[in-house]
Structure 1
């Protein structure tokens, strides 16, 4: 059994939790994911099976699309709704025109400083482990590509948006940085990954559905994209 599963990760599970669940369902060990989704986020998670694990790097380089909600006026230590509030601006005023201008400013190649609450490593230790101990370390800015950033809806302090971006982009950092630019602070309150390359949320499979396919091996195999998938750069 070799290939790529397009799975729908639910809120509350880590990407590794999903991998462990798939290992149990398929009774295989050679399984890995191609691009972490935070526990608080949901949506498309590509899981590679068998020889498909050789494609992890190529899949991670595919463009990603997210839909999310930015909460203006509140900053958190994790840059998302799961962290502690560190700053509030209850009397802020931001116009739709200011938001549009800020979205435009953050479109294209931008510099991001990775958040402390992330899986990146410093001297062999995960940054989130250091952050939980109250330790801050210097992180160098990295260039990422925001290919499209669209304002969808404004409802009070909540701003719904869609973003298409490159590998390595932290959407919560994008929200935090835009909030700083607007002068009111912000954090990411909701995030859903709707597409990775050509793999869409509409075509994704829930873990429950995958579990249900165990009894019908042929249907299960139909859900595993072959490793020679033409849209995967560098696939054999």
Structure 2
């Protein structure tokens, strides 16, 4: 088994729970995931099977979410799983105010992650420290939000905003809910979260546990080929002889191999390349390596 699965994580499962169940379904231990989702969140959880686990680090990092933010309430965990710290029952905020505040999150900004998160501090996860009542100082980090738009506002038992967020890695949507509520002066917490895009995979193409079981029973399950998700990287095609040498861990002189390559847009050390052999066989990942002022292809991940 080798490749990726665009998995639709259900609510109530941790990412680790999903891996444990998928190991039983697929009858293999070698499974990993890209980008943890909170237990209450649903949506795209990229799954790597077999040697594809070694490629998780090279997948595209862009993510997108649909989130429901409940205004007027502040909780310990910045979502509805936590204890209520403060609640404001009556407030008057119009749509223009909300849109203006949301626009302020777009770009590269500093964000303080939630106290209840898996970030480690001196080797211990923050949520473990928080549950023990220890005093925690969480450092801010830079994150990038490329787009954030308001989809709708509902006023029923609560005032809730449905938003769509496109962002880079390390972004906590719970923190956005918290900070938006703070800026509006009424408090806010995350009520619901669906990841609609991650690592080049999209929600509309994702598979549930039931989908996977059905495909396995019908013997129709097909894994996503790694090179389909890694096409943001440049590619290089090796000759038959160079392919053999590369797979044995040898360096390949870039100048000598250029005659059998695709176009590479950037020639710099530490540049990662999809590496193909004869008949477009995907061999793995190379890194450009400089030795004696000569660029060479160095095997980084060898899959064959």
TM > 0.5 between the two?
A: yes
2:209 equivalent in structure 1: 207
Kindly indicate whether the alpha-carbon contact (under 8 Å) linking 2:30 and 2:49 is maintained by their aligned counterparts in 1.
Answer: yes
Q: What aligned pairs does 1:51-130 form with structure 2 within 5 A after superposition? A: 51-59=51-59, 61-130=60-129
Whole-Å separation in 2 of the counterparts to 1:199 and 1:214: 21
Whole-Å separation in 2 of the counterparts to 1:151 and 1:179: 14
Whole-Å separation in 2 of the counterparts to 1:116 and 1:29: 32
- SS of 2:43 mapped into structure 1: strand
Whole-Å separation in 1 of the counterparts to 2:197 and 2:66: 10
Q: CA deviation at 1:196?
A: 1.4
Structure 1 runs (4+) greater than 6 angstroms displaced: none
Please give the per-residue CA displacement for 1:170-206, whole angstroms capped at 9, x wherever unaligned.
0010110111011111001000001114311110000
Of structures 1 and 2, the one with the larger relative CO (CA 8 A, separation 6+) is 1
2:150 equivalent in structure 1: 151
| Worse-superposed segment, 196-205 or 62-71 | 196-205
Whole-Å separation in 1 of the counterparts to 2:68 and 2:145: 17
Kindly indicate whether the alpha-carbon contact (under 8 Å) linking 1:70 and 1:187 is maintained by their aligned counterparts in 2.
Answer: yes
Kindly indicate whether the alpha-carbon contact (under 8 Å) linking 1:58 and 1:232 is maintained by their aligned counterparts in 2.
Answer: no
Whole-Å separation in 2 of the counterparts to 1:204 and 1:52: 18
Kindly indicate whether the alpha-carbon contact (under 8 Å) linking 1:3 and 1:225 is maintained by their aligned counterparts in 2.
Answer: yes
Whole-Å separation in 2 of the counterparts to 1:174 and 1:110: 11
1:179 equivalent in structure 2: 181
Greater Rg over alpha carbons, structure: 2
CA RMSD of aligned residues (A): 1.3
Kindly indicate whether the alpha-carbon contact (under 8 Å) linking 1:51 and 1:227 is maintained by their aligned counterparts in 2.
Answer: no
- SS of 2:21 mapped into structure 1: helix
- SS of 1:167 mapped into structure 2: coil
Q: CA deviation at 1:213?
A: 2.2
For normalisation by structure 2, the TM-score amounts to 0.74
Q: Using a 3 Å threshold, how does the CA distance of structure 1 residues 212 and 232 change in structure 2: closer, same or farther?
A: farther
Question: How many residue pairs align between the two structures?
Answer: 232
Whole-Å separation in 2 of the counterparts to 1:173 and 1:155: 21
- SS of 1:225 mapped into structure 2: coil
Whole-Å separation in 2 of the counterparts to 1:200 and 1:88: 36
Uncovered stretches (5+) of structure 2, i.e. residues with no partner = 234-271, 275-283, 285-304
